Structure 1
Amino acid sequence: MDSIKSRITAFHKLGDFLSQFSRDKVEKKDNIEHNELFFDGFKHQLKIAEENNTWFTKENLLFSIENWTKALTTSNLIEWVSSENLGKNEPKLVAVIMAGNIPLVGFHDFLSVVISGHSVLVKQSSNDKHLLPFLAKYLEYVEPELKEKITFTEEKLEGFDAVIATGSNNTARYFEYYFKNKPSIIRKSRNSVAVLTGNETEEQMQNLSEDVFRYFGLGCRSVSKLFIPKDYNFDAFFNGMYTQHQIINNTKYANNYDYNKAVYLMSEFDVLENGFLMIKEDESYASPIASVFYEYYDNSDDLKIKLWEDREQIQCVVANNFIEDEIEFGQTQHPKLWDYADGVNTLEFLSKI
């Protein structure tokens, strides 16, 4: 019997399986269903994912898995799905086009479609193609009725009823044209910002370094822009960032740092840097790897208006008692199941198609 209850159980069991893989240790546990079939295989898939994409370090892969372990509990899943009227509409085939900027970045869309009772047709990014098919296979073993519901393809998408697509601003324009006759959620590039006052604690600034550097700043929830008061002293910021100075030991990151530094120097931009991070005054939200942009603000009310006007470009606002729906320092990469990308409620969309 394929029901919301059985699907919640399946994803809860997947969470149990993933709990064996953390940054502290990767260790086989007793009483995990189908472990003899899947544990060693998933370890191997993690290794392949790391080799296939050097941005996907072991640390970042396991960090992502830890987050999903915490999210996929029965209580979280029930709280999440109970807010929507799921399973009342006819099951549809939903195509999901995934980004590949951070590990398992498309998992939330996959989870949303499957738990809603629809079938999913997945088109993955070549940058992140190893983990999800393996986890889907685990789900099919735990709940055999899901076998008919999950398809991966590298071909042209056909026969679907609705689509969820994530890409750059350029690909989003293509998606909007191509899928104009289908119900859709189409996500564009977004970045996250931090609002600083100069009164932050040392701990808050160290926590902010996690928002800046986790996944090398490649996620839409990564802070790439600071808003600072006119007389801001950057010493506290750089002191906080120093906790992540080992990042320069990653060759790909170091190459980006050197390249972007050379570009800034040749362009004679006024840049502050500390050997592994550059900051530059710039009105843009999307900063290159190894750099963070900053912009001055005169008063809080004007900044709140600006953030509201630019909300289509912003994923998260990190701040301390500044704005509604702000995120605490260090928490951008720990979204809950109901923290929807771009603020679009995926479950609500899926309940109405």
Structure 2
Amino acid sequence: MDLQQRINAFVKLGRFLNQFQNEEGIKDHNVESNDLFFDGFKHQMKLAQESNGWFTKSNIYFTLENWSNALTESNINNWLEKYQFNIENPQTVAIIMAGNIPLVGFHDFLSVLISGHKVLVKQSSNDKHLLPYLAKYLEVVEPEFKGKIQFTEEKLENFDAVIATGSDNTARYFEYYFKNKPSIIRKNRNSVAVLTGNETKEQLEALSDDIFRYYGLGCRNVSKLFVPKDYDFQALFKAVYKWNAIIHQTKYANNYDYNKAVYLMSEFNMLENGFLMIKEDESYASPIATLFYEYYSTTEDLKQKLETEKDKVQCVVANGFHNNEIEFGHTQNPALWDYADNVDTIEFLLTI
């Protein structure tokens, strides 16, 4: 199977996913093998929602829309054009996936297969329904994928390299356990926003999407703000109000109530609006329903701080702060070439 065959298969998968961007799930009869998979995938989406309370319909639809938009032939070709694919001896690459947001490990899965290797997937129990079904679709539209995709719930065995995503604690275990294998080990990271006080209403409303999408559970969600001295949070509170209905989600509301009680009993100073708490804190990882903030004196000092602590930061959302910033509202719409932790997964896979 050559590279173009692999690209064609994922383009077909993108067209398949394009049908599932909203509750209607309008069936496209031009999609290959649709009669075999359309109704079954709707059932898998239902199972995903039932097994994980954070995987709401809107979050699953949002994920599928992003991947359907990404998996076009032009996007994939733009992503891969700088690489030389000449793998003569395909390896088996194990992927240990997180389960914080739907299909969170799909980019690693895609990267391994598109590069020409075989994949061995160990999923999180929190996200185990969607990807195996999509893998079956790939095997039908491109039969040469059969035998190259394997899922396991057991101990990982018979693999040549590994990509593992977890917490700082599990990363230490991964680093020890996989010390003799080529590896990418991902740890905790969080995203931040740099505000000046001059943001427009539209920018702050877009920032609210970066904060609340997936309930703030993703590493690309903004969990901390850097603001100038005497920053007025009222404009921000007004802008994020469009997400006020999030408090009606039971799991989110429970976290809000719990964390609010902890802060009040600890006599921490905080601001809150009924569905979000804002607390001054030097940490990057804020609890659900909480947004941390920290004051900065000058942008140059802040740039130095973020450079020093770059291993803790996934995305920086800003407007004119530095060259690698992300526009407000776009953290959860990464391109195929936006690699987690800035580690080029394809480059790694081409050298193992």
* TM-score of the superposed pair, with normalisation by structure 1: 0.99
Asked if structure 2 preserves the Cα contact closer than 8 Å seen for 1:220 and 1:315, the reply is yes
Asked if structure 1 preserves the Cα contact closer than 8 Å seen for 2:281 and 2:292, the reply is yes
Asked if structure 2 preserves the Cα contact closer than 8 Å seen for 1:133 and 1:152, the reply is yes
Deviations 1:259-283 (A, max 9, x none): 0000000110001000000000000
Distance 1:40 1:62 in 2: 15
Match of 1:116 in 2: 115
Distance 1:310 1:139 in 2: 40
Asked if structure 2 preserves the Cα contact closer than 8 Å seen for 1:279 and 1:293, the reply is yes
Match of 2:126 in 1: 127
Match of 1:344 in 2: 343
Aligned length: 352
Match of 2:41 in 1: 42
Distance 1:216 1:171 in 2: 23
**Does 2:268 align with 1:259?**
no
Deviations 1:27-50 (A, max 9, x none): 101211111110000000000000
Match of 1:181 in 2: 180
Q: Secondary structure at the match of 1:63?
A: helix
Q: Secondary structure at the match of 1:139?
A: helix
Q: Give the aligned residue type for 1:185.
A: I
Distance 1:341 1:89 in 2: 27
Fraction of identical pairs, as percent = 69
* Range that drifts further, 18-27 or 65-74: 18-27
> How far off its partner does 1:89 sit?
4.6
Q: Give the aligned residue type for 1:138.
A: Y
Distance 1:129 1:92 in 2: 24
Distance 1:263 1:72 in 2: 44
Q: Give the aligned residue type for 2:52.
A: N
Match of 1:4 in 2: 3
Match of 1:52 in 2: 51
1:190-205 equivalences in 2 (<5 Å): 190-205=189-204
Asked if structure 2 preserves the Cα contact closer than 8 Å seen for 1:194 and 1:226, the reply is yes
Asked if structure 2 preserves the Cα contact closer than 8 Å seen for 1:284 and 1:293, the reply is yes
Distance 1:297 1:24 in 2: 44
Q: Secondary structure at the match of 2:184?
A: strand
Match of 1:298 in 2: 297
Distance 1:46 1:88 in 2: 35
> How far off its partner does 1:330 sit?
0.2
- In structure 1, runs of 5+ residues without a counterpart are none
1:276-315 equivalences in 2 (<5 Å): 276-315=275-314
Match of 2:153 in 1: 154
Q: Give the aligned residue type for 1:246.
A: A
Distance 1:14 1:325 in 2: 30
Distance 2:180 2:118 in 1: 19
> How far off its partner does 1:23 sit?
2.6
Q: Secondary structure at the match of 2:116?
A: coil
1:190-229 equivalences in 2 (<5 Å): 190-229=189-228
> How far off its partner does 1:82 sit?
1.6
Match of 1:268 in 2: 267
Match of 2:169 in 1: 170
Distance 2:85 2:213 in 1: 34
> How far off its partner does 1:148 sit?
1.1
Q: Give the aligned residue type for 1:130.
A: H
Match of 1:91 in 2: 90
Distance 1:211 1:351 in 2: 33
Asked if structure 1 preserves the Cα contact closer than 8 Å seen for 2:87 and 2:116, the reply is no
Distance 2:153 2:168 in 1: 22
Distance 1:89 1:225 in 2: 45
Match of 1:22 in 2: 21
Runs of 4+ in 1 over 4 A off after TM superposition: none
> How far off its partner does 1:24 sit?
6.4
* TM-score of the superposed pair, with normalisation by structure 2: 0.99
Match of 1:103 in 2: 102
* Superposition RMSD in Å: 0.7
Distance 1:64 1:327 in 2: 19
Asked if structure 2 preserves the Cα contact closer than 8 Å seen for 1:4 and 1:87, the reply is no
Asked if structure 2 preserves the Cα contact closer than 8 Å seen for 1:281 and 1:295, the reply is yes
Asked if structure 2 preserves the Cα contact closer than 8 Å seen for 1:89 and 1:351, the reply is no
Match of 2:135 in 1: 136
> How far off its partner does 1:78 sit?
1.0
Distance 2:306 2:23 in 1: 38
Deviations 1:152-201 (A, max 9, x none): 00011011000000000000000000000000000001000000000000
> How far off its partner does 1:81 sit?
1.5
Distance 1:294 1:270 in 2: 12
Asked if structure 2 preserves the Cα contact closer than 8 Å seen for 1:162 and 1:183, the reply is yes
